[in-house]
Chains A and B, each alone.
Chain A
């Protein structure tokens, strides 16, 4: 039984093993900053190259002709480097590793719509079409891309035109560390155990809601913590009538602990469901 699809920016990808995993799609803001970062890296490198070439050609000789030739060659190299920044840098790095340095730093990666690495052809395509995404303001170095933003807003996977044509999307690849299961602290006291039912059944949605609450509660103010706990505690209190605890938040922790540790049983969904909290 699948819960209704949440309003979220995930895409589901099914592997040949029939495992479905989700990628978090990256939004325009994060991608814009990654792009800025890349431009910063590129133009810093260009400036460094320029300074180096200037020094080299200044040292090239006292003879007028030699110096002039050296400066000329340096200017030529700089122009080719500028070309590489505009048309080669993104395509080459994304084709090679799936991300430019700017994207890596912000935890972004480009994958195909089937979740695979993109390869050079798709990388070249999506980056060539940056010029189409920049329309109608074609000469803003992609910083103001009206066509691209429109396309991102209109597609479910935030694809700009280049992404659509190349069949790619940008995902957030930051991986979560395995979190420890929620522990009950302090451990259950004798008086609490007295009234705690032997068997607690929670359905999947309840478990998830309580778990996410328990993980967050240390970062909430006390009043807010109780307020949130009160939204679900009465429902459970009705189910386990004899159970008493110091406060609703503690009650949820105890019930959750009993439900997940001892017995490990999930209840059938209650026949009368509370309205969804989303």
Chain B
């Protein structure tokens, strides 16, 4: 163990302070204004300065310089480290490969992620559509059933609204309000449906069943009061986007929960982290679908466009959504299987 050091702390500090201040100024500049604001010369100087400060820190520790000096150098190293090293995602890419996520890549990543977790998505669809059909059929058989699920004070105005039909536009203002409401409410539900999947999938399952049952009961109740055609016309335009997105977000939540139940060869935490990253494209995609659904629901579904046109457009929309999710961005079967194995080793 080297016990002596030639330099006193004062002399060491005096000699090195200039470099420390330069690195400090660069780190602060990047933190305040971003790495792109650095001049080419400054960019080139960050790395050597950082390496020198790393060496200074080692030297200060070895020479047992005072604690505040070591703390200061640690802080400086940490700050420079976060300037020099990007996040893991950015750091992992090979130089020369496409370094910025393109819109095209995102367009493909979403359906690929859905297919990667198809088991969870199918379970999610069952958890949503079985209560949906159940609620619908039971309410059609006995309209009083809906009152068990949805308060009457909510059902009455709905029935009233759908009996009136869409002969008159409700006005652009109300359209915009409703679109905003759908963004706030529906995207919020989908994201919550995903996030609460962390509780072993129970949260997602709850939101799926609850939303399926209520939606079915409302449609059945309105149908039983003789306005079934109208509510179908209303829902058909945005339904495939909206209900599809809820099912996909719920499926992402179920995958998250299942990764805790059956982590395969990983630790539970590692399995959770890997699955969470793998399902994120689904969550983003479902949110975008819900934004689109909100626009359609706000400005198109309640408009006075004739009913057959709405149903035709709704049908086309349904086909588009299904085709997109099942077919878009298909790589080779081998590549997709590999991706799938990586994300979900338990299947």
Q: Which residues of A contact B (CB under 8 A)?
A: 1, 13, 15, 17, 19, 21-23, 65, 68-73, 75-80, 82-83, 86-87, 97-98, 111-112, 114-119, 121-122, 124-125, 128-132, 135, 138, 147, 161, 164-167, 173, 175-179, 181-182, 204, 207-208, 211-212, 215, 260-261, 263-268
Asked whether, in the complex, the Cβ of A181 is within 8 Å of the Cβ of B13, the reply is yes
Q: List 26 A-B contacts (CB under 8 A).
A: A21-B74, A69-B171, A72-B175, A75-B177, A76-B180, A76-B181, A97-B31, A112-B87, A116-B82, A117-B86, A122-B87, A124-B283, A124-B284, A125-B276, A131-B196, A132-B195, A164-B269, A164-B273, A165-B276, A176-B68, A181-B66, A208-B67, A211-B66, A264-B6, A264-B7, A265-B3
Asked whether, in the complex, the Cβ of B74 is within 8 Å of the Cβ of A116, the reply is no
Residue in chain B with minimal CB distance to A171: B78
Query: In the complex, what's the smallest C-beta–C-beta distance from B259 to chain A, in angstroms?
Result: 10
Which residues 229-285 of B sit at the A interface, judged by CB distance below 8 A? 256, 269, 272-273, 276-277, 280, 283-284
The docked-state distance in angstroms from the alpha carbon of A80 to that of B178 is 10
Q: Which listed residue (A121, A129, A131, A135) contacts B277, Cβ 8 A?
A: A121
The docked-state distance in angstroms from the alpha carbon of A263 to that of B8 is 9
Asked whether, in the complex, the Cβ of A179 is within 8 Å of the Cβ of B69, the reply is yes
**Chain A residues whose C-beta falls within 8 Å of the C-beta of B178 in the assembled complex:** 76
* Residues A179 and B180 in contact in the complex (CB < 8 Å), given A17-B51, A21-B77, A124-B280: no
**CB of B184 within 8 A of chain A?**
yes
Asked whether, in the complex, the Cβ of B66 is within 8 Å of the Cβ of A132, the reply is no
Binds A, one of B88-96, B144-152, B217-225, B319-327: B88-96
Query: In the complex, what's the smallest C-beta–C-beta distance from A214 to chain B, in angstroms?
Result: 10
Question: Taking each of A75, A263, A267, which has the highest tally of chain B beta carbons within 10 Å of its own beta carbon?
Answer: A75
* Residues A161 and B4 in contact in the complex (CB < 8 Å), given A76-B178, A115-B81: no
**Chain B residues whose C-beta falls within 8 Å of the C-beta of A266 in the assembled complex:** 3, 64
Query: In the complex, what's the smallest C-beta–C-beta distance from A245 to chain B, in angstroms?
Result: 22
Binds A, one of B116-124, B134-142, B185-193, B335-343: B185-193
Q: Which listed residue (A68, A97, A132) contacts B173, Cβ 8 A?
A: A68
Asked whether, in the complex, the Cβ of B78 is within 8 Å of the Cβ of A115, the reply is yes
* Residues A79 and B273 in contact in the complex (CB < 8 Å), given A178-B68, A179-B66, A266-B64: no
The docked-state distance in angstroms from the alpha carbon of A132 to that of B75 is 33
The docked-state distance in angstroms from the alpha carbon of A111 to that of B81 is 11
* Residues A161 and B198 in contact in the complex (CB < 8 Å), given A21-B57, A79-B181, A181-B66: yes
* Residues A207 and B64 in contact in the complex (CB < 8 Å), given A130-B195, A175-B79: yes
Asked whether, in the complex, the Cβ of A80 is within 8 Å of the Cβ of B183, the reply is yes
The interface residues of chain A, by DSSP majority, are classed as helix
Residue in chain B with minimal CB distance to A203: B64
**Chain B residues whose C-beta falls within 8 Å of the C-beta of A83 in the assembled complex:** 183-184, 187-188
Asked whether, in the complex, the Cβ of A79 is within 8 Å of the Cβ of B76, the reply is no
- Number of residues from B at the complex interface, CB < 8 A: 75
The interface residues of chain B, by DSSP majority, are classed as helix
The docked-state distance in angstroms from the alpha carbon of A75 to that of B183 is 12
Asked whether, in the complex, the Cβ of B68 is within 8 Å of the Cβ of A215, the reply is yes
Asked whether, in the complex, the Cβ of A179 is within 8 Å of the Cβ of B72, the reply is yes
**CB of B309 within 8 A of chain A?**
no
The docked-state distance in angstroms from the alpha carbon of A22 to that of B7 is 25
**CB of B174 within 8 A of chain A?**
yes
Which residues 166-220 of B sit at the A interface, judged by CB distance below 8 A? 171-181, 183-184, 187-188, 191-192, 194-199, 203
**CB of B19 within 8 A of chain A?**
no
**Chain A residues whose C-beta falls within 8 Å of the C-beta of B67 in the assembled complex:** 208, 211-212
Asked whether, in the complex, the Cβ of A131 is within 8 Å of the Cβ of B195, the reply is yes
The docked-state distance in angstroms from the alpha carbon of A116 to that of B91 is 10
* Residues A22 and B74 in contact in the complex (CB < 8 Å), given A68-B173, A131-B191: yes
**CB of B304 within 8 A of chain A?**
no
**Chain A residues whose C-beta falls within 8 Å of the C-beta of B108 in the assembled complex:** none
**CB of B45 within 8 A of chain A?**
no
**Chain B residues whose C-beta falls within 8 Å of the C-beta of A68 in the assembled complex:** 171, 173
Asked whether, in the complex, the Cβ of B280 is within 8 Å of the Cβ of A125, the reply is yes
User: Across chains A and B, which 5 residue pairs bring their CB atoms closest together, nearest first?
Assistant: A72-B173, A119-B87, A76-B180, A79-B180, A69-B173
Asked whether, in the complex, the Cβ of A87 is within 8 Å of the Cβ of B283, the reply is no
Residue in chain A with minimal CB distance to B283: A128
Asked whether, in the complex, the Cβ of A178 is within 8 Å of the Cβ of B88, the reply is no
Asked whether, in the complex, the Cβ of A175 is within 8 Å of the Cβ of B75, the reply is yes
Asked whether, in the complex, the Cβ of A98 is within 8 Å of the Cβ of B82, the reply is yes
**CB of B37 within 8 A of chain A?**
no
Asked whether, in the complex, the Cβ of B75 is within 8 Å of the Cβ of A72, the reply is no
Asked whether, in the complex, the Cβ of B276 is within 8 Å of the Cβ of A166, the reply is yes
**CB of B71 within 8 A of chain A?**
yes
Residue in chain A with minimal CB distance to B83: A117
**CB of B20 within 8 A of chain A?**
yes
The docked-state distance in angstroms from the alpha carbon of A204 to that of B70 is 13
* Residues A72 and B195 in contact in the complex (CB < 8 Å), given A119-B87, A128-B283: no
Provide the B1-23 mask, 1 if CB < 8 A to any CB of A, else 0.
Answer: 10111111110010001001000
Asked whether, in the complex, the Cβ of A178 is within 8 Å of the Cβ of B69, the reply is yes
Q: Which listed residue (A19, A21, A72, A179) contacts B177, Cβ 8 A?
A: A72
The docked-state distance in angstroms from the alpha carbon of A24 to that of B10 is 27
Q: Which listed residue (A119, A176, A182, A267) contacts B75, Cβ 8 A?
A: A176
Q: Which listed residue (A76, A132, A268) contacts B196, Cβ 8 A?
A: A132
Given contacts A181-B66, A264-B63, 8 further A-B contacts (CB under 8 A): A17-B54, A21-B77, A21-B78, A69-B176, A76-B298, A98-B82, A132-B199, A177-B72
Residue in chain A with minimal CB distance to B259: A165
**Chain B residues whose C-beta falls within 8 Å of the C-beta of A23 in the assembled complex:** 78
Asked whether, in the complex, the Cβ of B68 is within 8 Å of the Cβ of A116, the reply is no
* Residues A138 and B196 in contact in the complex (CB < 8 Å), given A72-B177, A128-B283, A164-B269: yes
